[in-house]
Chains A and B, each alone.
Chain A
Amino acid sequence: EPEVTQTPSHQVTQMGQEVILRCVPISNHLYFYWYRQILGQKVEFLVSFYNNEISEKSEIFDDQFSVERPDGSNFTLKIRSTKLEDSAMYFCASTTNGPNEKLFFGSGTQLSVL
């Protein structure tokens, strides 16, 4: 089955530093998402992206966050100035035709902010 791939699998950074998390969605998918999961807690929606623009974002997705699709395959999440509370597993996901479809999740990037 096609997979969503994420890199790196682990990222350690100092508070205040910028990080970029990378994702390659499934090739024929059109909708892309970022979710995060703090250890042992629920999966929280951050942002959805379609047709090169944000279609929906949550309250968590403040000005410190941005997303980009710099080329035809990558989908990135940038955190401009990381905080301790940004430590979490970040999952990228994609769907074929939008939010009515099942989400295909990547394996995640574990972000640790020190």
Chain B
Amino acid sequence: GQQVMQIPQYQHVQEGEDFTTYCNSSTTLSNIQWYKQRPGGHPVFLIQLVKSGEVKKQKRLTFQFGEAKKNSSLHITATQTTDVGTYFCAGRWNYGQNFVFGPGTRLSVLP
């Protein structure tokens, strides 16, 4: 079936460093969502991207959707310990289809 891939699987950064996770699909997505899951918690919605080349910002977080709508990225500027968790992208290829989650990128931030 269709799937989205994410890299890296793990990322350890020093507090204050930047962090980026990438999400890729072999075929064109209709839209993509990003979720954050804190350790021991449940996924929490961050953002949805729909348009080709779309860029959205939430404070220190920047989300991008590729021009071909096959890839997306989440960039965190100047990480903080509160950013610790697993970041999942969830992609969809057809309107009305349920989202398929990627494997996630687990972020550790060292103080």
CA distance A98 to B96 in the complex (A): 8
- Whether A45 touches B96, Cβ cut-off 8 Å, given contacts A91-B43, A107-B41, is no
Q: Which of chain A's residues have a CB closer than 8 A to the CB of B103?
A: 41-42
Candidates B35, B88, B95, B104; contact of A100 at CB < 8 Å: B95
Size bin of chain A's contact surface:
20 to 34
Smallest CB-CB separation from A6: which chain B residue?
B42
Smallest CB-CB separation from B30: which chain A residue?
A100
- Whether A102 touches B45, Cβ cut-off 8 Å, given contacts A43-B88, A56-B97, is yes
Q: B92: CB under 8 A from chain A?
A: yes
Q: Which of chain B's residues have a CB closer than 8 A to the CB of A91?
A: 42-43
Instruction: Find out whether the CB atom of A45 lies under 8 angstroms from the CB atom of B100.
Output: yes
Q: Residue among B1, B42, B104 with the most chain A CB within 10 A?
A: B42
Instruction: Find out whether the CB atom of A105 lies under 8 angstroms from the CB atom of B42.
Output: yes
Smallest CB-CB separation from B95: which chain A residue?
A100
Q: B101: CB under 8 A from chain A?
A: yes
Instruction: Find out whether the CB atom of A106 lies under 8 angstroms from the CB atom of B42.
Output: yes
Instruction: Find out whether the CB atom of B45 lies under 8 angstroms from the CB atom of A42.
Output: no
Smallest CB-CB separation from B96: which chain A residue?
A99
A-B contact pairs, 21 of them (CB 8 A): A35-B101, A43-B35, A43-B43, A43-B88, A43-B90, A43-B101, A45-B99, A45-B100, A45-B101, A59-B1, A91-B42, A91-B43, A99-B92, A99-B96, A99-B98, A99-B99, A100-B95, A102-B45, A103-B35, A105-B42, A105-B44
